[in-house]
Amino acid sequence: MALAEAGARGRLLRWPRVLLFGDSITEYSFQENGWGAYLAERLVRKCDVVNRGISGYNTRWAKLILPRLITGSTSADSIVAVTIFFGANDSALKDLNPKQHVPLEEYAGNLKNMIQYLKSVDITADRIILITPPPLHESAWEKACLAKGDKLNRCNATTGEYAQACVQVARECGTDVLDLWTLMQKNQDFSSYLSDGLHLSTKGNSFLAAQLWSRLENKLSALPSLLPYWRDVDHTNPEASLL
């Protein structure tokens, strides 16, 4: 059978998608032992995990990009979950990092704006998970800043205010939320979760992956494996099994 004929007979295979939208902590999530790679491994043959992390970005810029990533029902109908993971840059101190800083009220408003946009293209609240920024280990991040000739440009207390705002937005908008800032600090020495005081270490990636999977597993457990197991393919008539 010609490929064109097979394509005409068979239904288009459309993998459901999980979209990871965030800053560098999302962009780096497909590195070795990353939390995004963990999800992709768990969901292989069930859905694609799409990394849309953009290093250095804040919610002011993210809300402008989101409609270019998901455009109406044509690209939204296959999305089974979206994570929105911003705040580490928004919470940068205004005087020391004005380019990335976003005021607290605007940050909350931007998150609401993104949720409202997703709902407008029929991605329901139960498919949206907000993730707060992780805690900041100030002494480690100060070393990273000094190595670049900068001063310490973030502080953990301020990051916590943004994390609380993120939790509040989720409550008001009816979405799920993963309060990474609070959960990581249940262990008093949370520095092991971070590689440089800001970004996640291997342990931090594992922690986030486990926390996120506990929320996604229930949402996605009903997804079937796509295409039959190879032993179940009729080798004498594969078209009957595969088209």
The overall average pLDDT reported for the chain is: 92
Residue 6's pLDDT is 55
Question: Is residue 199 annotated as part of the catalytic site, yes or no?
Answer: yes
24 catalytic residue (yes or no): yes
Q: What is the pLDDT of residue 74?
A: 67
Average pLDDT over residues 120-128: 95
Q: Which pLDDT value is given to residue 7?
A: 54
Distance CA 38, CA 183 (A): 19
Residue 207, pLDDT > 70, answer: yes
Contacts of 232 (CB under 8 A, 6+ apart): 241
pLDDT number for residue 179: 98
Confidence tier at 135 by pLDDT (50, 70, 90): very high
pLDDT at 10: 60
Weakest mean pLDDT among 61-75, 79-93, 123-137, 192-206: 61-75
Angle between helices 104-120 and 156-173 in degrees, nearest 10 = 30
The active-site residue out of 24, 78, 192, 206 is 24
pLDDT tens digits, residue range 173-198? 999 999 999 999 997 789 999 999 99
Determine phi and psi for 83, rounding to 5 degrees: -105, 135
pLDDT grade for 36, boundaries at 50, 70 and 90: very high
Active site residue 235: no
CA distances from 199 to 51, 66, 91, 130, 230 (A): 17, 23, 14, 18, 40
Q: What integer pLDDT is reported at residue 168 of this predicted model?
A: 98
Average pLDDT over residues 74-87: 90
Residues 90, 91, 191, 199: which is the catalytic one? 199
Catalytic-role residue among 48, 78, 196, 206? 196
The answer, yes or no, to whether residue 4 has pLDDT greater than 60, is: no
Instruction: Tell me what pLDDT residue 12 has.
Output: 81
How much is the pTM?
A: 0.92
